[in-house]
Amino acid sequence: MKTVWEKLTAAQLKELNVFCEEYRQFLSASKTERLFVKNGIEAAEKAGFKDYRTVKSVKPGDRLYANNRGKNLCLFVIGKKPLNEGMNVVGAHIDSPRIDLKPVPLYEKDGLALLDTHYYGGIKKYQWVARPLALVGVVCKKDGTTVDVNIGDKPGDPVLGISDLLPHLAQDQMKKPGATVVEGEQLDVLVGSIPAKAEKDDRVKKAVLKILKEQYDIEEDDFLSAELEMVPAGEARDYGLDRSMLLGYGHDDRVCAYTSMRAIMEMKKPERTSCCILVDKEEIGSVGNTGMHSRFFFNVVTRLLALQGKTSLIDVNDVFENSRMLSSDVSVAFDPNYPEVSDPKNTGFFGKGICFVKYTGSRGKSGANDANAEFLAKVRRVMDDNKVSFQLCELAKVDIGGGGTIAYILANLNMDVLDAGIAVQSMHAPFETVSKADVYEGYRCYTAFLKDMD
């Protein structure tokens, strides 16, 4: 099978490079689910999308978005056919593994001020020490105002970080299993070391609080109602001597979220309504009111249907039953450093296009959405018609491990759903790697699906 690189026309190669540079910049500026939604809405409004709550009726070609609490975004381009005949849906998640601050984070010990943390999602804890981190998020105050915090990414900012033990003194540590080499309670972030002169006790902590008060108007109590995330500092970068790849924080799953979002922005007046779902909380089970299990999506679709004059539960259920979806979430890229986990016949390779994953899950496919063969055949036809490169993948060899996506949640609404994602190396590491060719092909796949799936 030829790689995408060998099939590209000169015009496509140019478009690929422009697209990937736009993605690189967006990813670098969207390191939390909140920032992704904020930057996503900004891009959507530029592309003519309006808040669906501001419209009184919908007609073919209308471009609408629905924002759920700043952490979950749905985009729609209304089709020529009525909504109850079904939508073409692409859906991805915009949360990524990271290290969150605890509700009471700040303390002083032995002359140093630290922030206590609780990690989010499946991380190898030892990967997050001794590297520059940024502090990003919101502090919500009792007066109803929200303070945006972003320290460590702007030029001239200080960075924060978590210490590691020197190898000279790590004989005992190095004998521990990987899961406990660095323990959860050792992931505390060093933030200060200068004592405040006028104070008696906790002088370093008080000096840090003074800085927070001056720069952000935050009191210590305000941490109680905050969502602050430690994320890797620094921009996403071109990767490889040939610059064929991108290294960045949060490709899982912002690479699929961005390409899906760009694909729906390409839609003008599709036959079937196009929909793009961008959800939070996938990395911890799609829970909560901004995760895929939330009633939000169901409610938005019901309201859009009502704007087309249909309010019966039968019509609502018909929308979902007649919809088709690509659950766009990253897949595993074959890694020559770790060939033993993959079956090369059934795994994703860099540069070979979008990965379709018929089933995810673990052991005997437990927890999988298993896409119907009939639906997979239709998807193959749409891809071939649009000359999109794709590969059929499993996450790994049988019984090596497993994972899940949001696919099964939408399938529960009786949609046809297929997992379709971009292959990633070093998934869930502070910096993950993707092939630019696959980013571009992912975008072309989602565009073809929204346009031509029937």
Smaller CB separation from Mn ion, 33 or 329: 329
Distance CA 424, CA 103 (A): 33
Smaller CB separation from Mn ion, 194 or 400: 400
Smaller CB separation from Mn ion, 253 or 438: 253
**Beta partners for 338?**
none
**Residue 162 in tokens:** 């978590």
Smaller CB separation from Mn ion, 63 or 254: 254
- 103 burial class (0-12, 13-18, 19+ CB within 10 angstroms)? exposed
Give the residue at shortest CB distance from Mn ion: 253
**Beta partners for 331?**
423
Residue 73: φ, ψ to 5°: -130, 135
For 218-323, strand residue ranges (E) read: 226-232, 237-239, 245-248, 273-279
- Least distance (Å) from Mn ion to the CB of residue 167? 30
- Least distance (Å) from Mn ion to the CB of residue 330? 5
- Least distance (Å) from Mn ion to the CB of residue 122? 7
Smaller CB separation from Mn ion, 84 or 327: 327
Instruction: Residue 442: name the closest of 189, 261, 203 by CA.
Output: 261
- Least distance (Å) from Mn ion to the CB of residue 327? 10
* C-alpha distance from residue 238 to each of 23, 94, 134, 315, 397 (Å): 11, 21, 20, 47, 30
Smaller CB separation from Mn ion, 252 or 416: 252
Smaller CB separation from Mn ion, 160 or 355: 355
**Residue 188 in tokens:** 């505390």
**Residue 160 in tokens:** 């924060």
Instruction: Residue 45: name the closest of 75, 15, 78, 87 by CA.
Output: 75
Instruction: Residue 350: name the closest of 334, 365, 374 by CA.
Output: 334
CB neighbours of 53 closer than 8 A, spacing ≥ 6?
66
- Least distance (Å) from Mn ion to the CB of residue 283? 5
Chain residues in the site for Mn ion (CB under 5 A): 252-253, 329
Distance CA 134, CA 154 (A): 10
- Least distance (Å) from Mn ion to the CB of residue 282? 6
Buried b (16+ CB within 10 A) or exposed e, 179-190: eebbeeebbbbe
- Least distance (Å) from Mn ion to the CB of residue 19? 21
Smaller CB separation from Mn ion, 188 or 282: 282
- Least distance (Å) from Mn ion to the CB of residue 426? 12
* C-alpha distance from residue 196 to each of 128, 209, 211, 213, 425 (Å): 30, 10, 11, 14, 45
* Number of residues that make up the chain: 454
- Least distance (Å) from Mn ion to the CB of residue 403? 7
Smaller CB separation from Mn ion, 329 or 441: 329
Smaller CB separation from Mn ion, 216 or 359: 359
Q: Are 334 and 349 in contact (CB under 8 A)?
A: yes
Smaller CB separation from Mn ion, 122 or 158: 122
H or E element at residue 381: helix 373-385
Q: Can you say whether residue 345 is alpha, beta or left, with left for phi > 0 and alpha for psi between -120 and 50 degrees?
A: alpha
- Least distance (Å) from Mn ion to the CB of residue 421? 8
**Residue 228 in tokens:** 């602050």
- Least distance (Å) from Mn ion to the CB of residue 285? 11
